């Protein structure tokens, strides 16, 4: 009797182990999403943004590591698509782009110009209220301004409106929340990064190798790489011209971050020979 019970218990235990193993295989086949924190620790994050909490930075204490990690939970494919190198490179590319958008660095800055990302949370001295009155789908709300806010410097009513709809806030009536709520700020940056806005592909698709150029893209020499991401973000002002200082700044951040992530940058870093999107 004791022997029989022992066998029954062993069979039960073995069955449970098989169940766990089987589930593990299934989950692996599905592609289990691992937390971004596995790829970027708080110490690495802080080493990227050495001066974001300096007194000289208007965004002091606005961009904590935990807010970034929390925001990524809304976009499970970010940093979780492709092999390990691709995943790390995408994170480095995103952080490099938002660093240029919010940089407080200068040529002779302590630790170099590319150690001063996330220094600003609002555009300095905006030249307009960034209201495209011809856009009737996302009409501007009276008295509101849609100047650059957050890590990607979200701008224009046609971005605030859909970003708010996707993320659960009223972007047209309450654009200020992007510079008042750290998690929402990071979410808007990730929303812009992950969202295709035709004819532009998403920055995410470009960085993970899913970009498929159209005939117009091929004619415009819009080749895959970090330079195309710059074209998506601000190509109308920065691309199609040689040795643009803003493009060089974006590249400088990316090179530094890629090195800290221990990955290469990949090809086509600039967009000097690309025509901007219409």
pLDDT in tens, 47-57: 999 999 999 99
101 is a catalytic site residue: yes
pLDDT digits (tens, 9 = 90+) for 175-220: 999 999 999 999 999 999 999 999 999 999 999 999 999 999 999 9
Q: What is the pLDDT of residue 1?
A: 41
Q: Which residues are 200's β-sheet partners?
A: 197
Helix/strand/coil for 257? helix
Phi, psi dihedral angles at 45 (to 5 degrees): -55, -45
| Burial zone of 193 (CB within 10 Å; 0-12 exposed, 13-18 middle, 19+ buried) | buried
Tokens of residue 68, six digits? 């970034």
Reported as a pLDDT band with limits 50, 70 and 90, residue 19 is very low
- All structural domains of the chain with their residue ranges: 26-121+182-261
* Residues in Cβ contact with 41 at an 8 Å cutoff, skipping those fewer than 6 apart: none
Distance of CA 77 to the CA centre of its chain: 11
Identify the residue with better confidence: 154 or 13: 154
Reported as a pLDDT band with limits 50, 70 and 90, residue 34 is low
The C-alpha atoms of residue 122 and residue 145 are separated, in whole angstroms, by 12
CB 102 within 8 A of CB 42: no
* Residues in Cβ contact with 244 at an 8 Å cutoff, skipping those fewer than 6 apart: 238, 270, 272
Phi, psi dihedral angles at 258 (to 5 degrees): -60, -40
The total of other beta-carbon atoms located within 10 Å of residue 27's CB is 11
Which pTM was predicted? 0.88
Q: Which residues are 149's β-sheet partners?
A: 122, 154
CATH code for residues 26-121+182-261: 1.10.530.10
Task: Tell me how far apart the terminal alpha carbons of the chain are, to the nearest angstrom.
Answer: 81
Identify the residue with better confidence: 44 or 19: 44
Closest CA to 132 of 162, 111, 110, 105: 162
pLDDT digits (tens, 9 = 90+) for 107-160: 999 999 999 999 999 999 999 999 999 999 999 999 999 999 999 999 999 999
Task: Give me the percent of the chain exceeding a pLDDT of 70.
Answer: 88
Q: What is the pLDDT of residue 33?
A: 58
Reported as a pLDDT band with limits 50, 70 and 90, residue 278 is confident
Closest CA to 110 of 166, 50, 151: 50
Closest CA to 157 of 98, 50, 113, 144: 144
> What is the radius of gyration, based on Cα positions, of the chain?
22
Cis check: omega of the bond before 199, within 30 degrees of 0: yes
Which one of the listed residues 2, 70, 90, 101 is annotated catalytic?
101
The C-alpha atoms of residue 191 and residue 168 are separated, in whole angstroms, by 12
């Amino acid at each position: 009797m004791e022997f029989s019970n022992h066998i029954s218990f062993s069979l039960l235990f073995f069955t449970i182990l098989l169940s766990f193993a089987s589930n593990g295989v299934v989950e692996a086949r599905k592609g289990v999403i691992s937390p971004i924190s596995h790829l970027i620790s708080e110490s690495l994050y802080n080493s990227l943004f050495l001066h974001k909490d300096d007194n000289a930075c208007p965004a002091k204490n606005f961009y904590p590591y935990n807010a970034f990690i929390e925001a990524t939970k809304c976009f499970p494919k970010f940093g979780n698509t492709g092999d390990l190198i691709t995943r790390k490179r995408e994170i480095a590319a995103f952080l490099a782009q938002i660093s240029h958008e919010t940089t407080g660095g200068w040529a002779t800055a302590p630790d170099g110009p590319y150690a001063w990302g996330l220094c600003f949370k609002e555009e300095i001295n905006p030249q307009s209220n960034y209201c495209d009155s011809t856009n009737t789908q996302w009409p501007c709300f009276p008295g509101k301004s849609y100047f650059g806010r957050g890590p990607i410097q979200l701008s224009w009513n046609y971005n605030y409106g859909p970003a708010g709809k996707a993320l659960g806030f009223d972007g047209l009536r309450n654009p200020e929340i992007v510079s008042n709520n750290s998690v929402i700020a990071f979410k808007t940056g990730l929303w812009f990064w992950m969202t295709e806005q035709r004819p532009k592909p998403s920055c995410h698709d470009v960085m993970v190798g899913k970009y498929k150029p159209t005939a117009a893209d091929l004619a415009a020499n819009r080749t895959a790489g970090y330079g195309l991401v710059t074209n998506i973000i601000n190509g109308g002002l920065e691309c199609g011209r040689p040795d643009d200082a803003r493009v060089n700044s974006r590249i400088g951040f990316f090179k530094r971050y890629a090195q800290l992530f221990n990955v290469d940058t990949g090809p086509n870093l600039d967009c000097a020979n690309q025509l901007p999107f219409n």
